[in-house]
Structure 1
């Protein structure tokens, strides 16, 4: 199974927010620069994560984005359920599949999805950011990456 890009960016945004030092906030621009993605897509993700309580989105001077809960209370499986529109792997009715009455594929794929979600349910955001210093190092954008080099 492949998660949507929307869910991927939601998880990446939560990881980035979890790496912030106490009292600091993140901007949408920092997220888009870190992951080299569009502002509009990150805005939608951040707004949705804020509505769900995973992030706290603070407007105005001194505003920004911060985690809305402790990393140890953010379950990865639940985030995926909250962000994905449809976790059903196949739809046997669109178009209608003639094998439906005797087919076992849907059952097998359902079992696989349950196993996939069970693994995700066993992890929390805190598990994903255990190696904080290494992750911060990897996410640090240098001036060379920001400014095009003159050659």
Structure 2
């Protein structure tokens, strides 16, 4: 199973906001930190905002912050929110399935069980869980932030 870039970036946004709870963050900050398109992040932040995971404030001093405590953000729920579907193979789509093996295939059940196990493991994690021990990542992001601020000041 592979997550889409959209889900990957959604999780990165939440991680970034979780590591920077001491300040308002901009989409540009996240785009710079992860080298992701700002326009792509705007779509992601919009969806996360609609789900109540991110709070946004417009205006000159606006920005983003988490909409919930990290311990209240379930990673499995985020993945389910941001993934278009979990149809690993054709036979998972009952409307479009044309596989001749479907009536007697034992693989379909095993793949369904594996998908549920995958989602179950992610469902046991919160944002707080994945933020634990990320001190080196936070330090790297702080260095990047201050470096950009110096560049802005000298420009």
More helix by share: 2
Is contact 1:129-1:135 (8 Å) kept?
no
Cα distance in 1 for partners of 2:20, 2:140 equals: 14
Q: Aligned residue for 2:25?
A: 26
Aligned to 2:13: 13
Which structure 2 residues correspond to residues 2-151 of structure 1 after superposition, within 5 A?
2-22=2-22, 24-92=23-91, 94=96, 96-139=98-141, 140-141=143-144, 143=147
Aligned partner of residue 101 in structure 1, secondary structure = helix
Measured after TM superposition, the shift of residue 90 of structure 1 is 1.5
TM-score, structure 1 as length reference: 0.88
- Structure 1 residues without counterparts, runs of 5 or longer: none
Q: Secondary structure at the match of 2:103?
A: coil
Number of residue pairs matched by the alignment:
145
Compared with structure 1, are the counterparts of its residues 67 and 21 closer, same or farther at alpha carbon in structure 2 (3 Å cutoff)? closer
- List structure 1 segments (4+ residues) > 3 angstroms apart after TM superposition: none
- Aligned equivalents of 1:21 and 1:102: distance in 2? 52
The C-alpha deviation readout for 1:79-120, integer Å capped at 9, x for no partner, is 000111101211226461111111112111100001101110
| Separation in structure 2 between the aligned mates of residue 48 and residue 126 of structure 1, nearest angstrom | 21
